[in-house]
Amino acid sequence: MCEKEISQAVIGRLPRYFRYLGELKEQNVERISSQELSELMKVTASQIRQDFNNFGGFGQQGYGYNVNYLYQEIGKILGLGKKHHLVIIGAGNLGQALANYMNFEKRGFLVCGIFDIKKELIGKTLRGIAIRPIEELEQFIRANDVDIAVLTIPKNGAVLMAEKLVRCGIKAILNFAHVDLNVPEGVQVENVHLSDSLMKLSYNIHKYEENVERANEKGVQ
């Protein structure tokens, strides 16, 4: 692969391409032009070409892209050829929802352990995976080659838990706690801050209403 640094904005768009290509593949579509893909995904064809050029362009301009080839290549770039072992920390409703979400496995993300501090949860199973006491976490991560931890615990404990995970050699954290984690370079973090998403919606609702009001006032004048 090329050596130049690819922006996180481009990386962030790859899973969406991958999803659409997977759906096209299921529909037995063999080739697609950037124009057709653009209409389907509601982004400009030039954006698509620019994004793909970061990875050498995937060829075949004019004839369109080979859907299966493109799907495979983007999958490889996303590192989906290799299986990932996940643990979920926090077996509350959110942790349980994620443990039950089969789609992760389809993409090669295998939930192999669930951990909690609550004694009454220990030993229960979710899809055959036992909930274990948090004391076993460190040994479990090392023994099972776990590379990703999903943090679904309250924010109070999350920062210390992240530090512990880093000491255990975890490579990435999907963080649902509403706090920023402090991890060294080389440990990847994706935050899912649901309140932040709601606030963004709130902003956009009000902005839209303001714009409509303003347009109406101008119409009246």
Residues that bind a copy of itself (CB under 8 A): 1, 3, 8, 11-12, 14-16, 18-19, 41-42, 77-80, 82, 84, 92-94, 96-98, 100-101, 103-104, 107-109, 147-148, 171-172, 174, 178, 180, 186, 188, 190, 192-206, 208, 210, 212, 214
**Hey, which residues does 66 pair with through a beta bridge?**
31
On whether the CB atoms of residues 118 and 148 are closer than 8 A, the answer is no
Cβ closer to a copy of itself: 61 or 201?
Answer: 201
Nearer residue to a copy of itself within complex by CB, 34 or 96: 96
- Other CB atoms closer than 10 Å to residue 175's CB: what's the count? 24
Q: How far is the CB of 36 from a copy of itself (least distance, A)?
A: 16
CB atoms within 10 A of CB 47: 14
User: Can you tell me the distance from the alpha carbon of 214 to that of 216, in angstroms, rounded to the nearest whole number?
Assistant: 5
Min dist. Cβ of residue 161 to a copy of itself (A): 17
Q: Which residues contact 98 (CB under 8 A, 6 or more apart)?
A: 88, 104, 111, 150, 152
Nearer to a copy of itself among residue 7 and residue 61 (C-beta): 7
Residue 136 or 194: which CB sits closer to a copy of itself? 194
The nearest distance, CB 119 to a copy of itself, in angstroms, is: 20
Q: Kindly tell me which of 60 and 204 has the beta carbon lying closer to a copy of itself.
A: 204
Q: Which amino acid is at 52?
A: F
Minimum distance, C-beta of residue 63 to a copy of itself, in the bound complex (Å)? 26
Cβ proximity to a copy of itself: between 62 and 118 the closer is 118
Distance CA 91, CA 118 (A): 9
DSSP designation for 123 = T
In whole angstroms, how close is the CB of 160 to a copy of itself at the nearest point? 17
Cβ–Cβ under 8 Å, residues 118 and 91: yes
The percent of the chain in helix, strand and coil, each rounded to the nearest 5, is: 50, 15, 35
For residue 194, the minimal CB distance to a copy of itself (Å) is 7
CB 86 within 8 A of CB 148: yes
Q: How many Å apart are CA 197 and CA 183, to the nearest integer? A: 23
C-beta of 10 vs 61, nearer to a copy of itself: 10
Q: How near is the Cβ of 68 to a copy of itself at its closest, in Å?
A: 18
